[in-house]
Structure 1
């Protein structure tokens, strides 16, 4: 079996690798180039070179030798492809390349349309941190203003509640003073009542009642 036949078989196998049929055009180009590089790497040791190392065996059993050669090539291609797929998954390579493609495409469209760059647009002479600040500072400023507005509302509500509490406290003080004054009057009345000669009053009341009773008899 020739090298071209084995390469064609390997290409079909690798064509089913995850991510090849999805993603942006930039990712497709990158993935296709990587696929070609993996195929070339896996088949860098050609069948002719393989047969030179095992000349007698390849002459006596050409089918078996070509089968072993293709198996080794497919195994190497599978190992490299699996390792690359794990790296892509670990670092979200396709997603990041798609984002890069979207950014570059948008920049080219804006450039063709003659749209002037925004203040937060990155340029070669601008540090990435500066561009990031230009985008994040307005957002943080809006959040700060919103927090200030909310804080002012809370302070206004707090002042209103404090005013009500102080008014209630003053009313409670007035009520306590009035109650204290009433209790004082009651205690004075009780003291005056206690100082009266109760027995003399009772005796006087009894005599008065008897006198009135006597006068009322015909």
Structure 2
């Protein structure tokens, strides 16, 4: 039995429910990442005994599932009222909203693409995504298309969040780190052993993370579109 089909116990002796538990876990994760989340720490946040929480959740992994589904609810809410779009519009919006959600909740990057999202909000996102293709292609082709796009944006999000974490850990921005490694890289490239890399360093355009994400996403969507056509 999963956490999704296990009924909540009565709210006694003091009011406590999964929504409150998840809210406390989200706050802890936003403050200190997934390492800051445990049943005991959430219980302390709620001024409740840990054993009371185990009546609502069996493991920390179940708590993570509930947290991810809560963020999926945010992603769904951001799309409410949007005009109906085709598969490309839907996947593009999902990718950008997932990125924004990960920037609000950096810990999300560690859970994306892991355990299947079986909560009601995760299932709603999956249903809307698959349904956007209509009769455009057979279901196996649709599944590969969705997997291809999600593999891109999950990987891009994880890389961006990793860079942001490095900035927080070291106190150095990406530009600071590049300047610090500049003398070494200049010396290495001067050997002539890495001509393609040298061209990228010296001639390549430097764009911000949002532009890079959007450009890569458009290229992936173009490829999927060509395959469907």
TM above 0.5, yes or no, is no
Larger Rg: 1
Shorter-chain TM range is under 0.3
Higher-helix-fraction structure: 1
TM-score, normalising length from structure 1?
A: 0.26
**TM-score of the aligned structures, taking structure 2 as reference length:** 0.25
